[in-house]
Amino acid sequence: MDFLLGFFENIAFDSPLLNLGTVLIAGIVGGEIVGRFNLPKVTGWIGTGILLRAFNLEGLQPDDGGLDRFLPYMHFVLGFIAFTVGAALHVKKLRNAKLRLGVIALCEAIATPVLVYLALRFIGGLSNEVSMLLGAIAIAGAPGTTVVVVQEARAKGIMTRTLVSALALIDMVAVGVFVFVLAILTTQTGGISAGVSAVAIQFGEAFLIGTGTVLIAIALYRFGIVGPAFLGPSFVFVILASWGAAACVGVSGILACTIAGIAITNLQHDAVRAVEAYLSHGASVLFAAFFTFAGMRLDFSLVPPVAGLVVLYFLARFIAKYAGAYTAMSITNAPAPVRKYLGIALMPHGGVAVGLILLVQEAYGASNPELVNQITTVGLATLAINQLLGPSAARFGLQWAGEAGLDRKRLFDFLDEQHIAVGLKGNNKEEIIRSLTSQLYSVSQLPLAQEEFVQKVMERENQETSCLGEGLMIPHTIIETGDELTGILGISSEGLDLDAPDGRPVHAVLLLATPEADRERHLEVLAAFASAITKDLNLREQLYHGRSPAHAYSILHAEEAEDLNYFLEDAFEKVGAFEKD
């Protein structure tokens, strides 16, 4: 017994990797438990963090800087979230939503800070400076929380699109208004001109940083220095460099990464898929640890002493958000569900607010400790409450608007990771089909013998080649019984000489097995896959150079649903050469 006690006494439990692993697994478990009650997993992650804080684990003590060791990780995830949200602002795709987004940004810039200021100043009795700063901080949303909730709810529709797209603008408005207010309060000259100048400098520098890093990544790709397979990783550089450079010059890293996302989606929109494919596959792990760490930074002991102000701030912000969103959607004639529930979905309050509170601490320091203490206490205490209630509010807003669960199943959902193979080799069609069939039967149960399936595919292939050009081949057959369409995708980065009609080597072979009852989907898959490959050079090159099944899976499944719908709508018109057997 003494030996065991001595053994554990000599172990250093403050290893950063051990701490990170502990936080990650605790967050995953907490999220799964909360998810079983039909609540957002992000609530479970944050709640788990609050519990871990109470245990005061070695290496994770918030009071002595233990959590500060993980700030680079937190900054990267925040940068990824900001980049992703910024990438949603593709001008061409949002042409029908420009008015809605512009008006809601304007309402956020006016309604939220003004209503919160009035409540805190004249009801809460706080000073003019504290009320103004907290009013500006109240504008900030929580892109990470909201995006996770949208994904979990499988939401789709006008409100969902408006919500996700508006997040980037709202946080940019929050930074702008905050910088404006802070400049007025802290500069010697003060006044509107000082505030406008400070905002122009902040946004100008963020624009140069975010756009500059994106242009470097695009240049490396276009000049052939970085190949298609590494386009995604090159944009990890964009996120890291944007945040790091912004920190060096005192600019908001969130703002710089958001602008970087806006730049890439509008300068080279196809590249966005590469970033999503590379990072989204492990996004749930990133988010689980990130939000658990966020929960550990929330100190609920701050709430009781200022409970009245916290409730006032919380309610004032909620009313302001709802009123601003309702007004904006009414002005732009948005559908009734969007008008009623968008404000509820905008309730989450997150990382940007923490960053702005830290800026207050840096700006005032020891010169006005009472102001810093009031803003930190009320701001973080309200944030703690909001982090627990906000995700559920966003989920309810999506459900009440009737958009939860509308993100329909993707056409290529059958192509999960185990149904994709890279490094495909073979000297002729039959050899390749036999190889893929063997892999297909190792992961799927088909109602006919393996050799019989090979013969059916080869009979169809001998009647008419399934090499469609541009490096794509889709051998397929209809089977009489079975539950649903299945198949396997083989990828060869080197290319296979299979006498394709256009003379090009074949890089992707999609082998399909379709039950008679699922014939319609069979035709849709043929048409959509062929159309996607032949029309989208960026997708084609990335897929053909997929480094692993997981990478290829991410490339296929990162495509936006509306793009896939476009292929389905045009499938029978654009690709009409397929037979029905």
Residues 6+ apart with CB under 8 A from 265: 86, 87, 88, 89, 90, 272
Q: Does pTM top 0.85 for this prediction?
A: no
Average pLDDT over residues 384-403: 86
Question: Which structural domain, as residue segments, surrounds residue 97?
Answer: 22-400
pLDDT of residue 378: 86
Report if residue 12 sits inside a domain.
Answer: no
Residue 422 belongs to what H/E stretch? strand 420-422
Q: Are residues 426 and 394 in the same domain?
A: no
* Structure-model confidence comparison of residues 414 and 478, the more confident one: 478
Nearest to 202 by CA among 173, 227, 222, 228: 173
Q: What does the pLDDT read at residue 246? A: 92
pLDDT (average), residues 114-132:
94
Burial tier of 406 (Cβ tally within 10 Å: 0-12, 13-18, 19+): middle
pLDDT of residue 464: 85
Please check whether residues 513 and 546 belong to one and the same domain: yes
Alpha helices in 231-335 (DSSP H): 231-249, 253-267, 270-279, 283-296, 307-331
Record the tokens describing residue 361, joined without a space: 């601490």
- The full length of the chain comes to 581
Specify the pLDDT at position 80.
84
| More confident: 338 or 485 | 338
Q: How distant is the alpha carbon of residue 456 from its chain centre?
A: 43
Residue 131 domain-assigned (yes or no): yes
Q: Please state the domain count of the chain.
A: 2
Least confident of 20-24, 250-254, 396-400: 250-254
Q: How is residue 350 annotated by DSSP?
A: -
SS3 content of the chain, % helix, strand, coil (to 5): 70, 5, 25
What is the rounded average pLDDT of the residues 31-40?
83
* Confidence at residue 125, expressed as pLDDT on a 0 to 100 scale: 92
Q: Which of 352, 368, 356 is nearest to 186 (CA)?
A: 368
What is the band of 562 on the pLDDT scale with cuts at 50, 70, 90?
very low
Same domain assignment for residues 307 and 427: no
User: Is 177 found in the same domain as 138?
Assistant: yes
Residues pairing with 479 in the sheet: 515
When pLDDT is cut at 50, 70 and 90, the band that residue 548 belongs to is: confident
Report residue 17 as tokens: 């990797």
* Structure confidence at residue 546 (pLDDT): 78
User: Per-residue pLDDT tens for 188-219?
Assistant: 656 677 778 888 888 899 999 999 999 998 89
* Assigned domain for 3 exists: no
* Rounded alpha-carbon distances, angstroms, from residue 581 to 99, 463, 510: 48, 11, 16
Residue 358 has pLDDT above 50, yes or no: yes
pLDDT attached to residue 285: 82
For residue 6, pLDDT over 60 is answered with no
Q: Is residue 6 part of a domain?
A: no
Going by pLDDT thresholds of 50, 70 and 90, the confidence category of residue 8 is very low
Task: Looking at the structure, tell me whether residues 241 and 163 fall in a common domain.
Answer: yes
Which tokens sit at 454? 């090979």
Distance CA 410, CA 465 (A): 27
Class of residue 425 by CB neighbours under 10 A (exposed 0-12, middle 13-18, buried 19+):
exposed
pLDDT band for 276, please (50, 70, 90 cuts): low
Most confident of 259-268, 285-294, 400-409, 479-488: 259-268
> Is residue 157 in a domain?
yes
Q: What percent of the chain has pLDDT above 70?
A: 83
Closest by alpha carbon to 406, among 85, 35, 158, 143? 158
Comparing 158-167, 222-231, 521-530, the range with the smallest average pLDDT is 521-530
More confident residue, 547 or 306: 306
Residues 249 and 335 in one domain: yes
Lowest mean pLDDT: which of 236-240, 351-355, 405-409, 497-501?
A: 405-409
Amino acid identity of residue 358, one-letter, is L
Which residues contact residue 329 at a Cβ distance below 8 angstroms, ignoring those fewer than 6 apart? Answer: 100, 104, 338, 339, 342
Q: What pLDDT digit, counting tens, does each position of 494-545 carry?
A: 888 888 888 889 998 989 887 876 666 667 777 777 776 777 777 778 788 8
88: confidence class by pLDDT, cuts 50, 70, 90? confident
Q: Is 568 left (phi over 0), alpha (psi -120 to 50) or beta?
A: alpha
Asked if residue 87 lies in contact with residue 330, where contact means CB atoms within 8 angstroms, the answer is: no
> Rounded to whole angstroms, how far apart are CA atoms 225 and 576?
38
Tell me the average pLDDT of the chain: 80
Whether 408 maps to a domain, the answer reads no
The band of 411, judged by pLDDT with boundaries at 50, 70 and 90, is: low
Has residue 453 been placed in a domain?
Answer: yes
Note the pLDDT of residue 258: 86
Residues 541 and 450 in one domain: yes
Residues 71, 39 share a domain: yes
Quick one: 512 and 556 in the same domain?
yes
Give Cα separations from 358 to 353, 354, 365 (angstroms).
Answer: 9, 6, 10
pLDDT band for position 578 (cuts 50, 70, 90): very low
C-alpha closest to that of 294 among 383, 178, 393? 383
163: number of CA atoms within 13 Å, CB side? 36
pLDDT of residue 266: 86
Mean of pLDDT values over 171-195: 78
The reply to whether 1 falls in a domain is no
Shared-domain flag, residues 384 and 442: no
- Mind giving me the DSSP string for 479-525? ESS-SS-EEEEEEEEEEE----TT-PPEEEEEEEEEEGGGHHHHHHH
Q: Mean pLDDT across the stretch 124-153?
A: 88
CATH of the domain at 558: 3.40.930.10
User: What CATH number does residue 84 fall under?
Assistant: 1.20.1530.20
Q: What is the average per-residue pLDDT within 315-338?
A: 90
Give the pLDDT score at 346. 92
The count of other CB atoms within 10 Å of the CB of residue 417 is: 15
Q: Which of the listed residues 400, 430, 451 is the one where a domain comes to its end? A: 400
**pLDDT greater than 90 at residue 287:** no
**Contact yes or no for 358/308 (Cβ under 8 A):** no
Mean pLDDT for 286-305 is 78
Q: Which of 352, 367, 400 is the last residue of a domain?
A: 400
Instruction: Let me know whether 378 and 249 are in one domain.
Output: yes
The reported pLDDT for the residue numbered 280 is: 63
388 and 476 co-located in one domain: no
Structural domain ending residue among the three candidates 400, 430, 447:
400
